[in-house]
Every structure is written in C-alpha cells, then in structure tokens.
C-alpha cells in the first residue's frame, strides 16, 4: 500500500543497481539539492531517505565503503536539518522509520559507533516531535527502545554526558511513563530497565540524584491512582458488571508490580533504596496498609480493606526484595498507627516534612517539570521548590554535588569494571546514610531492619517486650478470617498470610515472632489464634449452608498444615485436633446428605477427586484473578471457576460437599500421620493394563471379533473382571493364560446392540475426565461380533451386569468412607454370585488387593443365570431404595445438625466438637476397630463395623437362594440403623449398648422383629421386580432392534 503510489523515484530509471555506493552518492546529490523541504520535493526527500536506509543496511552487510561515504559526507546532518524544518508528519515518520531500521539492523559495532558519534542521535531524541500523532509517537518510542537495547558500558557514553548531566534517552523516555497508549508505556519500562541494567556508576549516580525521586514519586502516584480506580470499580460494581474493567485494572496492577520487581532484581542498590522508600512511604503503607484499619467515613481512607488485602497479597507474591517486603511485613505484623503519625519529639524543626511523610499524595508537579527543574538546578540553586521532595533530595543533591562526585571519581578509577554484585561497600554506606536519615525523620524500624545490628536487635526485642502493644493491622487481619456470613475477606487474608509466609524477602524471625508459619521450619509451637481461626473456617465450610468457598478452604488447610507440621512431626494440640476432627465429621455428615444411589454420584465423586488432585490450588494464579475481588457469588453464569464461588444448585452442592470432605479428610489423615488407603477409589496401579498377562483358567471368556472404528479387525477374548473389561489374546507359552490387549473401566462403558446384526454389540468406553465441560474422549469405540446371538446376549448381560456391579462396589466403598451402613446390594449379589460378593467384601476391607483374588479365582463365573435381570434390578433398586435412603439420610443430617452444628459458631472449642479419633478410616480394618472400641467408642456415631464383618461372613455362605434372603434382611437391619439414627444420634450411649450385638452377627438376631415396615416395602418391590423388569428388558431389546 505504501509503495504503490510512491514508487516513482525508482521509476525514473536511475536505479540500475539500487544497492551500491554509486546510488548512495546519487542520493547524497539529491539531498544537497533539496535542503529545504517544500511541498514539491517532500515525496522525493522521503523516498531518498528511505533508499539511503536500504543502501546503508546493504552496505553494512556487504560493502563497508558505503558507510564510510555516509560518514564522510556527514549525511546524518541532513536528516537533522530536514527534521528541524517542521517538515511535517510524512517526513518525520520516514525519518523515524529510517532511524529505527538503521539501529535495528546494523551489525558492525564500528558502524554503530559512527552513527552514534557527533551527538546527532541525542539531538534527534530531544527534538519536539508532534507526539499527539499516534504514529509518530509509536515510531519515536520504538526508536528509543531500539537505542536502549544497544546500551552497554561503552555505548552509554554516547547517550549520557557526565559534564552536562544529560541523559536524553532516559529522561525523554520516562516522560511518557504514563502515556495513555499501553504499548508506549511498555516501551518506556523496557527502556528504563535497559538503562538500569548498564553497570556504569556515573550514569547510575546521575539517575539516582537527578531523576530517581521525580520518576519514582510520579510512578508511585500513577500506580496508586490505578489502585484507587480499581477500588472504585469494586465499589460501584453491580451484579459483576465491572468484571471486564476490573480484570484489566488488576492486570495493570500486576504489570506494575512485576515492573517494580524487575527493577529491584537488577539489584542496583542506588535505585532500590530510593524506590523502596517511595513505595513504602508513599504507596504501600499510606494507601494499602492504612486502609486496613481506617474508618469508613474517614477522609484518609482511600481504598477498601478487601481490596487492600488483595493487593498486599499480590505485593508479597511478586516482590521479594528483602528491605522492602520485610519492612512492609513488619508494619503489618507488628506496627501500629503511630507509623502514620508525625514523630514530634524527634524533629520539631522538621515537623512539616515529617507530616508529609507516609502520605499518598500527588507529586506537586509533573515529572516533566521536575526533570526540567532538576536539570537546571545546578545553575539556579537558590530556586527551591516548596515541596516534600526538597527535604531528602537536597541532602542527596548536596552529597551528589559536593562529596559525591569526588568520592565516586576515585572509586571509579579503581572499580570501573566492578560488577553490580560487588558494588563497593562505600557506596552502599553512603546510600544507606541517606536512607537512614530519612528513616529518622519518619520514625520506626521499617527500613533500619535491613541491616540489623546487635543493639538494634535487643532494642527491637525490648520494644516487643513492651508487652501487649496494640497491633491494629494484625488484629484486623485475624478478625477478617471470620467466615460466618461470608468468606469475602477471609480468602484474601489467607492469601496474604500464605504469601507472607512464603516470601523469600521476609526475615523468618519476624514471622516467628508472631508465630506465623514458615514453611519447612522446625518449631515447637504455633499460633493458637491463627489455628483456631483456621479451624473455624473449616467448621463453617462443613456446614450445609456454609458460605465458605472451596479455594478458601483449601488455603486454610494449606496454612494449617504449615502451622502445625514441623518437619515430619505434627505438633498440633489435642484440643485443636479434636476441633478439626469435629469439622471433618461434620463434612462427613454433610456429604451423607448428598449420598445417593444415583449413577452420577459416583462419577462426581471420582471426578472431584481427580480434579482436586490434578489441579492443586496455585495461590499466585488465584491472586491474578480479578473476579474474586467482587463479593462471592453463586452463579456459574459469571464464568467464575467453581472453586472460587459458592455452589449453585444440587449438583454443585454435592460437588462441594464431596470436595470439602476430601480436603478435611486428607488434612486429618496427614496431621495424624496416617496414610490414605481408601482414595482414590481406583488407583491406576491396581488396574489391569495392556500387556498384562493373566491367568484366565476357569474364567468365562467369550470369543469375539473386535472391529474398531477405522475398520481394523482383531480376534479377541472378552473377559469381565471386577472393575474392568479386558480383551485378551492367548498367551503362547502358558496354557489358559492371556495377554491383555485392551482394558477399560466397566463403569465408563456404554453397550448397545447393533440394529441389523443380532450377533454384534457396539461398545464405547470413555476416558474419565475431570473437566465436566470437556467432551468425553473415547478410549475404545468398536463393534464386537460374536459367534452367535446367544453369545452376544451373554456378553451383553455380562458387561451390563459388570458395569452395575463395578459401580455398586465403588458406591459401597464410598458408603464405608461415609460411615454409612454398606448397602448390601442384594440385588446384584443375590444371584448367588458368591465369588463377587467375596470380592466386594474384601474390597471394603482391602480395597486395593481384591484383584489378586479376583484374578486367581473364577472371577467371571456364573453371571448369566438370569438373563436381563441385572439391568432391571438395578433400575428398580434405584427407584425404591435410593429414594428411601435419601429421605433417611436427610433426617440423619438434620439430627446431626442439631447436635453438632449449633454450638459451632458460638465457640471454637465447643465441647460437642471434640470427638476423639475418627472412625471412618479405622473402621475398615479389624485391628483398628478393636482399638477404637477401647478408647473412643463412647463418642462414636453409628459406625456399623459389624455390617462389614457380617458381610465377610457371606463369603463363606453358599451361593444359593438363602444368600438372597439374608442380604435382604441385612439390608433391612441396616436401614433400621439409619432409621434409628435420628433418635439415637444425640445419645451415643445407647448406640454403644448396641455395639456388642453387632460383631459376629448372629443371623438369628437380625430377623423379623428388626425389619421395619419400610424395608418390607423394599422387599416387596424387589419381589415384584421381575415384572417391570421383563418389560424393561423387552423395551430395551426393542430399542436395540
């Protein structure tokens, strides 16, 4: 688009070889003939300048004489001359593009030096372009950026003039630090960082003495203004409408922090001290920290506490520069409001200045003006500005001009090439002096702690001894942990504490003083205040209508672990552990309410486990999300991630209850040093995998042809295991053994008939996914063709039944986890499947080992006795039993609530919250059950270990019709347990009396009298089941056809 209309210069035929010295000479000729820009020659000049660029780059790459000519004729001067004629945008843009290209593409250092000599470049930098033109602005700032990328210890001398104290590249660039165009601001930041990176003492001294205060004070004001806008955005938000804008403002704040951090990690102490001073005393303390405690109506209050907590967390997560973050943390953890008061005793004469200290105020003049003033200051010393900057600055300046340079020059001689890391101590001291003086003005230990001497330490200790000094900030932080109504503030507090405890810049002693958890530190005590509050958060999270988000809970768990785990030891006090157990118990009760026989529950249960373990909370990412700045909401329509909002609807409430349970369970186990043996329900290492070799003697195998979607055929044997179906090939070496070619979970399988082929089945197995929105990915999608339709039906039933059974068994394990009486699931087991019932009971006890047995024994036996029964059975059972269970478990939890939850909010150590060891885990192994009964059964809710045991008794029972009735009775008895629970729940003693009856259950006891009317109904439904069942089966068949 550019060239089409402009190509006429080349069109004149003078460009036989555009890239040659001759052509450059011709261009030179054109320039000399057109020294004045007019409307007529403008186009010609632009094309000439453009061509010169091209030739120069070509020359740099191919022919050095080109550059010589350019320099010899001082052609750069022509450029300047043209520029100064106010020749208009068109020419300006071309010149800037040329300069960009020149400095970007020049590869020879000598060429670069040539270009930079004569100060022409500096003249161009200070030229007053029309910066209102966005294109000129963009080219100009890119030009500066390109130049800054060329800066090093040698080239810096072309830009920084020691004698005149000029550094146009830097001072011109920073004038745009708050330009409305983001790309320009980014370029400015790049330029400054490139400058600070150059290790040149003189230049850096200049930066500090002449520019640092104006620049940093304006920068800090700019950041603070954004923060206030951000706060306003939060305040004025309705219905989360400001989320888009808010997330930009948050990202902007993060950009600023990262920028500050990038400056600080260059580790130029010169600048860091000035920057730290400004950040602390003009931004973080007066704006962020002060807002934590100031009254709402107070004029001083700038932002809301939740915003300031959020922003402070970001500060600690991103910035680790010790003098800064340590001082900041010290004020938050130890400081009081005196930090913000002028210190009268110390400096009456300087009171005006100290009053200005620690205020978030607008710099009295623009950066541009400040720079202007500072440049002229050397000449007009008398003219002093009446502003806060004078105080520190003049001291500095005097140093800078009087003793500074001399000292520096001496040093410079010796340590010209000294690396940044080893800046001479003299320098450091000098700066420190300046800073210390400032500190004196402004009181407090903030900055002094960067180099604590022994005296200071004792002094600090003494200060600590002063006793119950008020700590308003810390108090606020702890108080905000209250989640009774909502966890809006609590989440931020947790993040802040987490960020502080993980900060590399904070002195561990500082944290230890108030017993904040430092990860990986040995310790013997912890902060009771904090731990109790954390446990209270957990208690609230476990309440049915708790307003605690999952992220909050997860963070509380993290912090609690950090607090009470010292190395591998857990130092938690019994009373706290008991409270925690109370919360865990509560979460168990909560989850019971949602426990249903429905298929989806199992899937949710496993999904939640997967997504919780695969995506542990990342606090840094959490704190990058602006959406948590708005009050917690429940609706997923906001697009806010599930863990960062409250649940919406029953499914999400279930998911939430599951997660709360997982988290508290994991926490409880870890604190008690017990391994997790029950979760996940399926461990990958326990599953049959491809290429496993199995003993399939006595297993039921069905030969089939597997035709995958892409038409590949294979002869396989179908075997159905407890949790999996597998396709095997005969093992060549051992008779009766098979090699697994494919294995998939039965629970994720879908089987359907094939329309026009009664011998074939379509089978799909989906990969379990933790993302509910992701499309399920099939790991198997194939049609299975059997020898005849009988075998086909058998296979279908076996798979269908296997699926139900696999799911049922997992549900039973969940029930066991929840201390629910294990549903005997007589429906499936009742078919005389002794072998699988054995495996299911052993599953409950030895969850991961049943495969060995299953594989050894005739695992696949006797599935096909009652064709089509299983499917319908399952349906009827889910119709009848699940609904009743729900009702019952509801009543349980209501009763549970009455006994457990009411005291919770009142006191953290409510006696009802202190049951001892928890039964769930121990329930499942006999030894533990025994030990339990000794010390803690008095407090146990109906645990029903006997159910499990009785179950294992079934193992021995013959698989006949008896087996079918016993479980029914048992189920009745189990239900009775549930029914009984509401009355008995509060009074555990009665339960305890029951206890002895249960173990080694005599079947006689569990008989007619115990069967409630409800369970009779149940039995009836079961008996009548075959009827609808057949119908259903028929229906299914017709569907298939």
Partner 1 sequence: MAYAYLFKYIIIGDTGVGKSCLLLQFTDKRFQPVHDLTIGVEFGARMITIDGKQIKLQIWDTAGQESFRSITRSYYRGAAGALLVYDITRRDTFNHLTTWLEDARQHSNSNMVIMLIGNKSDLESRREVKKEEGEAFAREHGLIFMETSAKTASNVEEAFINTAKEIYEKIQEGVFDINNEANGIKIGPQHAATNSTLSGGQGGQQAGGGCC
Q: Which residues bind partner 1 (CB under 8 A)?
A: 1-7, 19, 39, 42, 46-47, 50, 54, 57-58, 61-62, 88-90, 92-94, 97, 100-101, 104-105, 130, 133, 135, 138-139, 142, 145-146, 149, 182-183, 185-186, 189-190, 193, 244-245, 248, 251-252, 254-255, 258-259, 261-262
**Do the beta carbons of residue 695 and residue 857 sit within 8 Å?**
no
Residue 882's contacts (CB-CB under 8 Å, 6 or more residues apart) are 596, 597, 598
**Do the beta carbons of residue 473 and residue 331 sit within 8 Å?**
yes
Q: Which is closer to partner 1, CB of 150 or CB of 302? A: 150
**Do the beta carbons of residue 723 and residue 687 sit within 8 Å?**
yes
CA-to-CA distance for 672 and 624, rounded, in angstroms?
34
Q: Which is closer to partner 1, CB of 229 or CB of 394? A: 229
Tell me the closest approach of the beta carbon of residue 772 to partner 1, in angstroms.
19
Query: Cβ atoms within 10 A of the Cβ of 216, count?
Result: 24
CA-to-CA distance for 187 and 145, rounded, in angstroms?
6
Q: Which is closer to partner 1, CB of 266 or CB of 529? A: 266
Q: How far apart are the first and last CA of the chain?
A: 66
CA-to-CA distance for 300 and 634, rounded, in angstroms?
34
**Do the beta carbons of residue 223 and residue 302 sit within 8 Å?**
no
Question: 565 pairs with which residues across the strands?
Answer: 570
Tell me the closest approach of the beta carbon of residue 151 to partner 1, in angstroms.
11
Tell me the closest approach of the beta carbon of residue 271 to partner 1, in angstroms.
15
Tell me the closest approach of the beta carbon of residue 88 to partner 1, in angstroms.
5
Tell me the closest approach of the beta carbon of residue 314 to partner 1, in angstroms.
13
Q: Which is closer to partner 1, CB of 50 or CB of 576? A: 50
Tell me the closest approach of the beta carbon of residue 158 to partner 1, in angstroms.
19
Tell me the closest approach of the beta carbon of residue 252 to partner 1, in angstroms.
8
CA-to-CA distance for 600 and 884, rounded, in angstroms?
17
Tell me the closest approach of the beta carbon of residue 135 to partner 1, in angstroms.
6
Q: Which is closer to partner 1, CB of 6 or CB of 875? A: 6
Tell me the closest approach of the beta carbon of residue 262 to partner 1, in angstroms.
5
Q: Which two tokens stand for residue 262?
A: 């990038």
Q: Which is closer to partner 1, CB of 21 or CB of 687? A: 21
Tell me the closest approach of the beta carbon of residue 261 to partner 1, in angstroms.
7
What backbone phi and psi angles, to 5 degrees, belong to 777?
A: -95, 125
Alpha helices in 17-155 (DSSP H): 21-33, 42-62, 64-72, 75-84, 89-105, 109-116, 120-126, 134-149
**Alpha-carbon radius of gyration of the chain:** 39
Tell me the closest approach of the beta carbon of residue 109 to partner 1, in angstroms.
17
Tell me the closest approach of the beta carbon of residue 62 to partner 1, in angstroms.
6
What backbone phi and psi angles, to 5 degrees, belong to 502?
A: -95, 0
CA-to-CA distance for 283 and 273, rounded, in angstroms?
15
Residue 884's contacts (CB-CB under 8 Å, 6 or more residues apart) are 975, 1014, 1018
Distance of CA 219 to the CA centre of its chain: 29
What backbone phi and psi angles, to 5 degrees, belong to 751?
A: -120, 135
**Do the beta carbons of residue 631 and residue 678 sit within 8 Å?**
no
For residue 73, give the 3-state DSSP assignment: coil
Q: Which two tokens stand for residue 411?
A: 């040093």
Tell me the closest approach of the beta carbon of residue 44 to partner 1, in angstroms.
13
Q: Which two tokens stand for residue 521?
A: 């530190």
Strands 166-167 and 160-161: antiparallel
Q: Which is closer to partner 1, CB of 93 or CB of 664? A: 93
Tell me the closest approach of the beta carbon of residue 704 to partner 1, in angstroms.
34
Tell me the closest approach of the beta carbon of residue 132 to partner 1, in angstroms.
9
CA-to-CA distance for 209 and 834, rounded, in angstroms?
88
Given the structure tokens 């200070």, which residue do they identify? 126
- Look at residues 476, 525, 664 and name the one whose alpha carbon lies nearest to residue 587: 664
Residue 929 parent element (H or E): helix 926-935
Tell me the closest approach of the beta carbon of residue 948 to partner 1, in angstroms.
48
Q: Which is closer to partner 1, CB of 261 or CB of 862? A: 261
For residue 158, give the 3-state DSSP assignment: helix
Q: What is the 3-state secondary structure (H, E, C) of 321-383?
A: CHHHHHHHHHHHHHCCHHHHCCCCCCCCCCHHHHHHCCCCCCCCCCHHHHHHHHHHHCCCCCC
Q: Which is closer to partner 1, CB of 130 or CB of 788? A: 130
Q: Which is closer to partner 1, CB of 190 or CB of 842? A: 190
Q: Which is closer to partner 1, CB of 89 or CB of 362? A: 89
Q: Which is closer to partner 1, CB of 57 or CB of 667? A: 57
Residue 763 parent element (H or E): strand 757-766
Q: Which is closer to partner 1, CB of 57 or CB of 728? A: 57
Tell me the closest approach of the beta carbon of residue 264 to partner 1, in angstroms.
11
Q: What DSSP letter does each residue of 812-830 carry, written as one string?
A: HHHHHHTTPPPP--HHHHT
- CA trace torsion 298, 359, 230, 303 (10° rounding): -20
CA-to-CA distance for 952 and 970, rounded, in angstroms?
13
Residue 697's contacts (CB-CB under 8 Å, 6 or more residues apart) are 736, 737
Q: Which is closer to partner 1, CB of 116 or CB of 263? A: 263
**Residue 105: C-alpha distances to residues 65, 138, 143, 192 (Å):** 17, 18, 12, 22
Q: Which is closer to partner 1, CB of 242 or CB of 842? A: 242
Q: Which two tokens stand for residue 458?
A: 């004792």
Q: Which is closer to partner 1, CB of 61 or CB of 845? A: 61
Tell me the closest approach of the beta carbon of residue 240 to partner 1, in angstroms.
15
Q: Which is closer to partner 1, CB of 19 or CB of 665? A: 19
Q: Which is closer to partner 1, CB of 147 or CB of 720? A: 147
């Amino acid at each position: 688009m550019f060239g089409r209309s402009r190509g006429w210069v080349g069109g004149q035929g003078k460009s036989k070889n555009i890239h040659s010295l001759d052509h450059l000479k011709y261009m030179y000729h054109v320039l000399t003939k057109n020294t004045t820009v007019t409307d007529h020659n403008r186009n010609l000049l632009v094309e000439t300048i453009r061509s010169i660029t091209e030739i120069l780059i070509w020359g740099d790459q191919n022919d050095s004489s080109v550059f010589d000519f350019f320099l010899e004729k001082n052609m750069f001067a022509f450029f300047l001359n043209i520029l100064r004629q106010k020749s208009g945008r068109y020419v300006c843009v071309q010149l800037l593009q040329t300069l960009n290209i020149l400095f970007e593409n020049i590869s020879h250092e000598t060429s670069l030096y040539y270009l930079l000599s004569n100060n022409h470049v500096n003249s161009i930098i200070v030229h007053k372009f029309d910066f209102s033109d966005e294109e000129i602005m963009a080219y100009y700032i890119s030009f500066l950026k390109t130049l800054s990328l060329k800066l090093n210890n040698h080239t810096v001398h072309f830009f920084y003039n020691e004698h005149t104290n000029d550094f146009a590249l830097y001072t011109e660039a920073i004038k745009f630090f708050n330009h409305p165009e983001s790309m320009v601001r980014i370029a400015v930041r790049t330029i400054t960082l490139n400058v600070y990176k150059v290790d040149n003492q003189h230049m850096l001294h200049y930066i500090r003495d002449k520019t640092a205060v104006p620049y940093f004070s304006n920068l800090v004001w700019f950041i603070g203004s954004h923060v206030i806008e951000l706060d306003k955005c939060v305040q004025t938000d309705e219905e989360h409408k400001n989320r888009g804008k808010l997330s930009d403002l948050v990202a902007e704040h993060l950009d600023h922090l990262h920028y500050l951090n990038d400056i600080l990690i260059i580790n130029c102490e010169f600048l860091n001290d000035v920057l730290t001073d400004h950040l602390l005393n003009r931004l973080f303390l007066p704006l962020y920290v002060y807002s934590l405690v100031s009254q709402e109506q107070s004029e001083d209050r700038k932002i809301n506490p939740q915003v300031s907590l959020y922003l402070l967390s970001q500060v600690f997560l991103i910035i680790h520069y010790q003098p800064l973050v340590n001082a900041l943390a010290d004020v938050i953890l130890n400081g009081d409001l005196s930090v913000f008061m002028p210190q009268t005793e110390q400096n009456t004469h300087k009171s005006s200045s100290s009053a200005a200290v620690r205020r978030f105020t607008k710099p009295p003049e623009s950066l541009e003006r400040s720079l202007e003033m500072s440049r002229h200051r050397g000449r007009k010393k008398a003219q002093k500005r009446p502003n806060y900057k004078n105080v520190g600055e003049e001291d500095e300046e005097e140093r800078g001009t009087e003793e500074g340079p001399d000292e520096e020059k001496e040093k410079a001689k010796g340590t010209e090439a000294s690396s940044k890391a080893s800046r001479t101590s003299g320098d450091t001291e000098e700066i420190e002096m300046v800073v210390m003086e400032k500190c004196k003005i402004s009181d407090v230990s903030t900055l002094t702690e960067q180099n604590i001497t022994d005296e200071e330490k004792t002094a600090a200790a003494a200060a600590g001894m002063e006793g119950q000094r008020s700590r308003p900030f810390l108090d606020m932080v702890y108080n905000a942990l209250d989640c009774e109504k909502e966890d809006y503030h609590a989440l931020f507090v947790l993040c802040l504490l987490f960020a502080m405890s993980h900060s590399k810049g904070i002195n561990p002693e500082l944290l230890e003083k108030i017993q904040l958890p430092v990860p990986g530190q040995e310790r013997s005590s912890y902060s009771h205040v904090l731990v109790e509050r954390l446990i209270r958060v957990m208690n609230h999270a476990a309440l049915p209508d708790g307003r605690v988000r999952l992220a909050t809970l997860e963070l509380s768990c993290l912090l609690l672990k950090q607090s009470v785990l010292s190395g591998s030891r857990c130092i938690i006090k019994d009373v706290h552990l008991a409270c925690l157990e109370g919360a865990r118990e509560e979460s168990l009760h909560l989850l019971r309410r949602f426990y249903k026989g429905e298929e989806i529950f199992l899937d949710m249960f496993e999904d939640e486990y997967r997504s919780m373990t695969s995506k542990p909370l990342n606090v840094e990412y959490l704190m990058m999300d602006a959406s948590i700045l708005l009050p917690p909401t429940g609706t997923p329509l906001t697009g806010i991630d599930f863990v960062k909002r409250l649940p919406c609807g029953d499914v999400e409430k279930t998911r939430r209850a599951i997660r709360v349970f997982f988290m508290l369970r994991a926490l409880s186990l870890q604190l008690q040093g017990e391994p997790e043996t029950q979760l996940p329900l399926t461990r990958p290492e326990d599953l049959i995998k491809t290429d496993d070799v199995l003993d399939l003697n006595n297993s039921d195998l069905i030969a089939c042809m597997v035709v995958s979607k892409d038409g590949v055929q294979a002869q396989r044997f179908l075997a159905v295991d407890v949790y999996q179906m597998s396709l095997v090939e005969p093992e060549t070496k051992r008779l009766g053994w098979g090699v697994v070619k494919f294995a998939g979970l039965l629970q994720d399988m879908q089987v359907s008939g094939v329309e026009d082929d009664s011998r074939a089945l379509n089978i799909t197995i989906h990969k379990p996914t933790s993302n509910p929105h992701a499309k399920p990915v099939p790991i198997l999608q194939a049609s299975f063709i059997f020898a005849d339709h009988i075998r086909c039906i058998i296979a279908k039933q076996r798979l269908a039944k296997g699926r139900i059974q696999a799911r049922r068994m997992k549900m039973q394990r969940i029930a066991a986890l929840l201390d629910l009486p294990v549903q005997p699931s007589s429906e499936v087991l009742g078919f005389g499947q002794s072998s699988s019932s054995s495996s299911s009971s052993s599953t409950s006890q030895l969850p991961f080992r049943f495969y060995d047995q299953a594989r050894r024994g005739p695992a696949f036996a006797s599935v096909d006795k009652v064709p089509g029964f299983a499917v319908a059975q399952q349906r009827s059972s889910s119709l009848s039993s699940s609904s009743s269970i729900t009702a019952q478990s509801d009543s349980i939890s209501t009763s549970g609530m009455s006994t457990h939850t009411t005291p919770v909010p009142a006191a953290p150590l409510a006696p009802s919250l202190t049951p001892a060891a928890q039964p769930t885990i121990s329930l499942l192994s006999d030894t533990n059950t025994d030990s339990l009964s000794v010390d803690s059964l008095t407090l146990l809710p109906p645990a029903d270990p006997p159910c499990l045991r009785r179950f294992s008794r079934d193992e021995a029972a013959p698989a006949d019709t008896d087996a079918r009735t016993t479980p029914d009775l048992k189920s009745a008895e189990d239900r009775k347990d549930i029914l009984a629970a509401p009355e008995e729940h509060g009074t555990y003693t009665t339960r305890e009396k029951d206890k002895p009856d249960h173990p080694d259950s005599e079947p006689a006891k569990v008989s007619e009298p115990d069967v409630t009317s409800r369970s009779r109904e149940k039995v009836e439904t079961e008996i009548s089941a075959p009827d609808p069942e057949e119908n259903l089966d028929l229906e299914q068949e017709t569907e298939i056809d």
